[in-house]
Amino acid sequence: MKLEDELKQKSFKNPYHRMMVNVMFTGNWLMKELSCQLKPLGLSSQQNNVLGILRGQYPNPATLGLIQERMMDRDSNATRLVDKLLEKGLVTRCQCSHNRRQVDIVITEKGLELLKETDKIIQGLEDRFKQIAPEEATLIGELMDKLREREA
């Protein structure tokens, strides 16, 4: 559905304005599609994001700082996200021995198993985008990178 129909708006001021609104709207829409599908597994998209980061480190531990700098939304509170994952037995947490300020976090076997399920969900979402050609997907990625670029 075109953005104008989604927001029941006749038109936008100019292409830049339409682009800005559309990127925010579509990003939010996609995030909700994902969250909605992860919900039956009892995971939020941020929790899934953290688990994915931990799998990337596995079998090495990750500190909260490492997690934070790799999260999609860096304003989320890594401490409390890990609390939730801990409650569900998806990660372990223990004080790092050589630097007691740090906390080592490792994904558990159960966490790795759960990620196999979320991989299927992500795959399903990717399949949902068949109307986008692979070259277009690449292009969108490039344009998003360019959008965030800063001029000198």
Partner DNA sequence: AAACATCAGTTGTATGTACAACTATATAAA
Partner DNA sequence: TTTATATAGTTGTACATACAACTGATGTTT
* Site of interaction with DNA (CB under 7 A): 32, 36, 39, 44, 46-47, 63-65, 73, 75-82, 84, 93, 96, 99-103
Residue 27: contacted member of a second copy, DNA, none (CB under 5 to 8 Å, by partner type) = a second copy
- Residue holding tokens 């006749």? 10
Is 65:82 a contact under the CB 8 Å cutoff? Answer: no
| C-beta of 64 vs 115, nearer to DNA | 64
CB 142, min distance to DNA, A: 26
What is d(CA 89, CA 43) in angstroms, rounded to the nearest whole number?
12
- Determine contact, residues 105/79, Cβ cutoff 8 Å: no
- Give the shortest CB-23-to-DNA separation in angstroms: 16
Integer CA distances (angstroms), 116 to 9, 32, 90, in order: 41, 20, 13
17 binds, among a second copy, DNA, none (CB under 5 to 8 A by kind): a second copy
Interactions with a second copy, residue window 67-86 (CB under 8 A): 69-73, 75
Instruction: Give the residue with the Cβ less far from a second copy, 53 or 114.
Output: 53
Closest CA relative to residue 84, chosen from 130, 61, 50: 50
- String of b and e for 16-43 (b: at least 16 CB within 10 Å)? eeeeebbeeeeeeeeeeebeebbeeeeb
Contacts with a second copy by CB under 8 A lie at 1-3, 6-9, 14-32, 34, 56, 69-73, 75, 122, 125-126, 128-132, 134-141, 143-149, 151
